[in-house]
Amino acid sequence: MTAISDYLNSSLEWIQLQGIWAPILFVIVFVVATVAFAPASILSLGAGAVFGLVEGVILVSIASTITAATSFLISRYLLRGWVERQLADRPRFRAIDQAIRHEGWKMVALLRMTPILPFGLQNYGLGLTGISFWQSTFASWLGLLPAIILLVYTGSVAKVAASGTSNAQKIFYSIGFIIAIAVVVRITKIATRAVSRQIELEKNAASGPPDETD
């Protein structure tokens, strides 16, 4: 993992030097790396440091949505058997699949806000479910936004802290950072409770009513 992190950091340093091509190159590197299960968090933090908050959020949002869509199509049409084997030891996934069948894109959006499955497995796992490509893509974009904003904000705060900005600006960014953490943590807790509750409902439904004996 350390080698991967070093490579991604080197890639970000190279991208930063590419001028007007930097945003396009960032999206390409992000998609290729995360489709291959590289940690999206490092690139998201790097986007904040390289591009700043607003542009960084836009670029990571675009790149993560393309990653989700690409992995979905690979899972559904090319590597379905391999993905099924990766999720075979995760019994919760069957309940998640059933929950998505019942709740549709809303369940996917909530799932994206939780750590129940890692980002990469979520991307590929959704291709095994009954949800449509476009619903999955929209829900993924929506559900990933809170975490993207927080990660990019973190990267941008680190950039501000290392720059020669005034103390007032640093305090402003720090307060915003604390608020962002609090909001995302709250959203994650709410989403995790909702997903866990739905998973339990699906598990209970699958097991059926208890046997009655005379």
Q: pLDDT tens track of the chain, all 214 residues?
A: 567 777 777 888 888 888 999 999 999 999 999 999 998 999 999 999 899 889 999 999 999 999 999 999 999 999 999 898 888 877 778 888 888 888 889 999 999 998 888 888 899 999 999 899 999 999 999 999 999 999 999 888 877 666 666 666 667 677 777 887 888 888 888 888 888 888 787 777 766 655 555 4
Provide φ and ψ at 92, rounded to 5°. -65, -25
Residue 156 neighbours by CB under 8 Å, 6+ apart: 48, 49, 52, 53, 56, 173
CB 97 within 8 A of CB 127: no
CB 31 within 8 A of CB 70: yes
Record the pTM.
Answer: 0.84
CB 87 within 8 A of CB 175: no
CB 39 within 8 A of CB 4: yes
